[in-house]
Amino acid sequence: MDKVLNHIRNLRAEAESLLKNGNRHDGDDEAHCGVEKSIDCSNCGGDRWVLKLRQKAGFWRSKPLVVLSLFDGIGGVWAALENLGIPFIGYSCEVNADAMKVTQRNYCSVRHLGDIHRLKKADIKEKIDLVVGGFPCQDLSSMGARLGLHGSRSRLFFEMLRVIKTFSPTWFLAENVASMSWVDREEISKHLSTTPLEIDSQNFSPCKRRRLYWSNIPYPKTCPRIGDNEATSIQSVVQGGASLAKKNMCVLSSNGLQGATKALMELVYDFRIDKPRYINVVEVEQMMGYPPHYTNVKFDDQKPKAKIQRRRETEIKEGGVDRNTRWRLLGNSFSVPVISFLLSPLLDADIRDQTRKYHLPASVREADCSVMSPGEIWAMYNIHQRPNWYVQIVSRSGERFDLNVNERGKKGSRLPLRIECRFLELTKPYEAGQLDLWSTIRGCGLYTVSEGIEVQGSWVAFSHQVTSLLKVDHGLIFIYPAKGEVWSVYDSGTESRYLVYVLESSVNTKKAKLRVPGKEGFSARCRLLQKKIELDLYRIIDKELVYTDLGVFSFRAPYHFHGEGDVLKIELSVKDRERGAQIDGLKRKRLSRHFESDDEDFLDMDIGDEFGAMPIAIGNITSEPLANGESKSESILTVVTKRDEERLVQPKEDAIRGHLEPLKLKPAPRRSSRSTAGLRSTPYTP
């Protein structure tokens, strides 16, 4: 243990020697007003990579950044900017008085503007360079009611959207939990016109914290390999003892309390009392990237409302400061090293000089913003779990679209989801050579919109919105791969598929109207994707490929970035989304009685044995005639496990829910209507 402590002391001494600015005194109650000074990175653990970035970038020669921090909390963004040595003029929107007091003590130059609802253009005279905000996650987290982005608290995202629209900053950075549903992730990405990056803070610090980040700042291409470094272990923040684990679970606002049995903080054997204890609040501050005693503030109301028993930890004498409040504020804050990582590209003067355009909705009113709107084209999973069935949305109602229910925040009173749509069918020239006209190999070409209206009642059937399309004459729609998308390419020689990332593509609109396959003037330059050891993770490699044949592109695969800008987490089938929903349900059932936290991702578990297998959807279509001669079909979906797989091969002997007809899974020729119910449980690989 002495060797470990000596090693940590050496690391701290080395970091202190690299810092050109003065350090902050631990426990100093005076306000720290010098925005150009740096946090003592030696107390944050594993921040030598930040110092190297600062040395490489040299002195900051630009003017200070004008930064607006929404839902500011205890000022994590200011700590990150200070960590990077980036001077700033700060504005804060926050309504929690305790959090504001912490920020005012540590960064007295930051101007507080209060409630985001009241923020208007005239409140800030300067041109805003950067807007940062981690909007409330209670309706998105699996620990909450899962009301979604339009829930009563998480709907503040639309206020953030309004602020970005109002102030038109050069850059923005938004943050929220990684466990949100794919539908909410899709909607946020749609409104911010960017793909998120998923990061777990344990790669930078001693504690776990999975988050999604949306930004128009270029994502760093490489992540510092410090996750296994002793400087990012719990031991690096423990004083007078030995940590009994290397990493801590996610820091929550409630996991320092007795009774929170599912959110254990790791044990420390304290040499001073010669017995084990749990990590204390000062050590948590350092795990989150703050200096010791950062939240050591005397709050206005220190009278306990109820008797709360804390887990055993070393008593910390800090003038009677409420540790429960400190713990709650830390549990709802940013991980400072992660924010430093995401903002680090701004150290590069060339990046600061570039203008990265972003597109926001024409109207940012919540009532006008939706993940799915009438007229849009969406991809659905076919019976082989390939998302190359396409539909045009006619109408949608219920669930997240029922804003009146969302305002009351009652999930049980919501109307069921109902999405009316029309399927797209390949035109005759483009379906030539396809063995199965119901589930074609190709996912690009010229499509016609069918007349019949069908109804879907579940999100599980949908994959993503199709945005790379051309609307040509006579209502025809031409779908093709576009820049920034991931597509599965089919090789007829080996009868296999591989994935590519599209760098750029082009189509001749006039030639596309001619309906001649191979003569569309199509060209795409792509990068090959290489699968990593981790599940569903792929790296963009340097190998470039050029395609002129549209027919080899089979389907587009939804993805988001993971850890760094060249690694993608790709969803290849519906099974992952449905499995995630069942995990979330299990978490809520087990943990809801223990916490009132905003977080949930501390629980790492494998429920494969508990659920038996990946879920599959089964069902049937019933049709009814409409007054105008068209037909409407109902798609009924049921989730079962692999234990019920025999019911699919013997549907007549084991009727499903009694009122459903037997399901036919074999390939079929073109039909007037399709059922999303044919999704198989067999994992599909590209």
Question: Residue 204 sits in a domain of what CATH number?
Answer: 3.40.50.150
Residue numbers of the domain that contains 410 = 366-573
Give the strand order in the sheet containing 241-243: 241-243, 267-270, 275-278
Residues 472 and 535 both lie in one domain: yes
Residues 345 and 431 both lie in one domain: no
Report which of residues 347 and 646 the model is more confident about.
347
Average pLDDT, integer, range 310-337: 69
Q: Among 539, 573, 607, which residue terminates a domain?
A: 573
Residues 95 and 169 both lie in one domain: yes
Q: Which residues contact 650 (CB under 8 A, 6 or more apart)?
A: none
Q: Among 573, 590, 624, which residue terminates a domain?
A: 573
Average pLDDT, integer, range 68-73: 96
Average pLDDT, integer, range 471-495: 92
Residues 506 and 445 both lie in one domain: yes
pLDDT at residue 253, rounded to an integer: 56
Residues 229 and 374 both lie in one domain: no
Would you place residue 53 in the very low, low, confident or very high pLDDT band (cuts 50, 70, 90)?
confident
Q: Which residues contact 544 (CB under 8 A, 6 or more apart)?
A: 503, 525, 526, 527, 528
Query: Which of the residue ranges 100-114, 175-189, 390-404, 542-556 would you say has the lowest mean pLDDT?
Result: 390-404
pLDDT at residue 104, rounded to an integer: 94
Residues 149 and 213 both lie in one domain: yes
- Say if 301 falls within a structural domain: no
Would you place residue 684 in the very low, low, confident or very high pLDDT band (cuts 50, 70, 90)?
very low
pLDDT at residue 446, rounded to an integer: 94
- Say if 502 falls within a structural domain: yes
The 10 Å CB-count burial string (b at 16+, else e) for 331-356 is bbbbbbbbbbbbbbbbbeeeebeeee
Q: Which residues contact 20 (CB under 8 A, 6 or more apart)?
A: 38
- Say if 169 falls within a structural domain: yes
Kindly report, residue by residue over 283-311, the tens digit of the pLDDT: 889 989 999 999 998 876 554 444 444 44
Residue 498 has pLDDT above 90, yes or no: yes
Please indicate whether residue 93 is annotated as part of the active site.
no
- Say if 43 falls within a structural domain: yes
- Say if 557 falls within a structural domain: yes
Residues 422 and 481 both lie in one domain: yes
Residues 27 and 64 both lie in one domain: yes
C-alpha dihedral over 196, 202, 207, 208, to 10 degrees? 50
pLDDT at residue 578, rounded to an integer: 57
Kindly report, residue by residue over 200-246, the tens digit of the pLDDT: 988 898 888 899 999 999 999 888 888 888 888 888 888 888 888 88
- Say if 147 falls within a structural domain: yes
* 256 to 76, 186, 261, 264, 334: CA distances (angstroms): 21, 34, 10, 8, 18
pLDDT at residue 24, rounded to an integer: 37
Residues 343 and 483 both lie in one domain: no
- Say if 650 falls within a structural domain: no
Residues 114 and 221 both lie in one domain: yes
Residues 412 and 343 both lie in one domain: no
pLDDT at residue 52, rounded to an integer: 87
Residues 446 and 497 both lie in one domain: yes
pLDDT at residue 265, rounded to an integer: 65
- Say if 645 falls within a structural domain: no
Kindly report, residue by residue over 132-162, the tens digit of the pLDDT: 999 998 888 876 667 889 888 899 999 999 9
How many domains does the chain contain in total?
2
Would you place residue 103 in the very low, low, confident or very high pLDDT band (cuts 50, 70, 90)?
very high
Catalytic residue among 41, 44, 93, 137: 137
Report which of residues 232 and 370 the model is more confident about.
370
pLDDT at residue 363, rounded to an integer: 92
Residue 13 has pLDDT above 60, yes or no: no
Q: Among 573, 600, 631, which residue terminates a domain?
A: 573
Distance of alpha carbon 406 from alpha carbon 399, whole angstroms = 9
